[in-house]
Structure 1
């Protein structure tokens, strides 16, 4: 696999993924950018949500759970010194659906966090990754 990242001027870069999708990244004006895209570190929690979210939905679909709405709210803390890695990450999984089985939801999240989600595994190298869930 190869990812390509090209400088577009000032602090803007465009990354092209191996599946040929483009992501524009930029810095805020006080760091020399024009705020035309997310900062690279902002994409990490987004990648985490996508990774674990896809796992959880896939597992719940196999369990025949009828999820009507699913979202995650991810909060982070970063180190104050460079390289300013994430030190704490918390994922709140929020579900809405018809007669959702709490044990199945708990199992799907645990499988994602402890077995399948590669982004969580990477983050655990520097951060305390925690999670909670609620069913509306």
Structure 2
């Protein structure tokens, strides 16, 4: 990166970015130069504000969240500080869109400000505390049938797995892994194993079933955000929730509901298999 700062003949300054964009810079007061243009503090706050905003917006775009307006206000602590006494920066995000899900927005903003924005990371290493908050807003007028349109786009990628409770765990594991030649995808402990053949998946759990060996069936989803969208959709339609949404230690996220016959149904985002399903 190569940034240039030049003084023009009339003793004003310009800055030129690596890509050739030009910006007028404000000279220091003690030099009694023209005070038009951006001060160094302005540039710093614009940098961290734009970096965090663009990073979060990129995540939301990948998650197919439609934002109609995104405003970011950046303030310093103390509010009238210059770079010499700056100790904290606060970002207030205001997002407008249809059917925005709070957990999805929070995740994107957290990642954008705390992980992916290199400007905020540099400032934190320099001892500057960076905080943020957000507010969600609905457009002044909802489009016709906005809720129905949003719901109609929800779909699973098919049945992800069947989970069995086995009273003879070792024999069942050997049957499916060795005789049926399924691959062990994950075996977190001696009581649980997750098998796959690339398309179909089977989970075996050690236990003593009361009525049936079927523990649950699982449907695969495309993203973490879809897990929360499906949860809200099923809950709003009166479906009985068995377990609330939870992020698992392998990076998956899921929740459980009961079908009308009491069968447990899991809706899950599982990183490798979700990607495979969406590409098939």
TM-score where L is the length of structure 2: 0.45
Aligned pair 1:12/2:20, yes or no? no
Match of 2:127?
Answer: 126
**Aligned mates of 2:35, 2:12 — CA distance in 1:** 8
User: Using the alignment, how far apart are the partners of 1:4 and 1:13 within structure 2?
Assistant: 10
Q: Structure with the greater relative contact order (CA < 8 A, sep ≥ 6): 1 or 2?
A: 1
Deviates more, 1:51-60 or 1:33-42: 33-42
Q: Runs ≥4 in structure 1, deviation > 4 angstroms? A: 28-31, 80-83
User: Which is further off, 111-120 or 25-34?
Assistant: 25-34
Q: 1-side partners of 2:70 and 2:82: how far apart?
A: 35
Corresponding residue of 2:265: none
- CA distance in structure 2 between the aligned counterparts of 1:81 and 1:75, rounded to whole angstroms: 10
What are the within-5 Å matches in structure 2 for residues 84-103 of structure 1?
Answer: 84-103=84-103
Pair 10,82 (structure 1): closer, same or farther in 2 beyond 3 Å: farther
Aligned CA distance change for structure 1 residues 16 and 81 (closer, same or farther; 3 Å): closer
Per-residue deviation, 1:44 = 0.6
Is 5-14 or 63-72 further displaced after alignment? 5-14
Q: 1:48–1:83: structure 2 CA closer, same or farther, 3 Å change rule?
A: closer
**How far off is 1:95 after superposition?**
0.6
Paired with 2:31 and 2:41, the residues of 1 have a C-alpha distance of: 14
Aligned residues: 136
For structure 1, the residue ranges without an aligned partner over 5 or more in a row are none
- RMSD (Å), alpha carbons: 2.5
Q: Where do 5+ consecutive residues of structure 2 fail to align? A: 138-280
Who is 2:71 aligned against? 71
Mapped to 1, the partners of 2:94 and 2:81 lie a distance apart of 33
Cα distance in structure 2, aligned partners of 1:65 and 1:114: 20
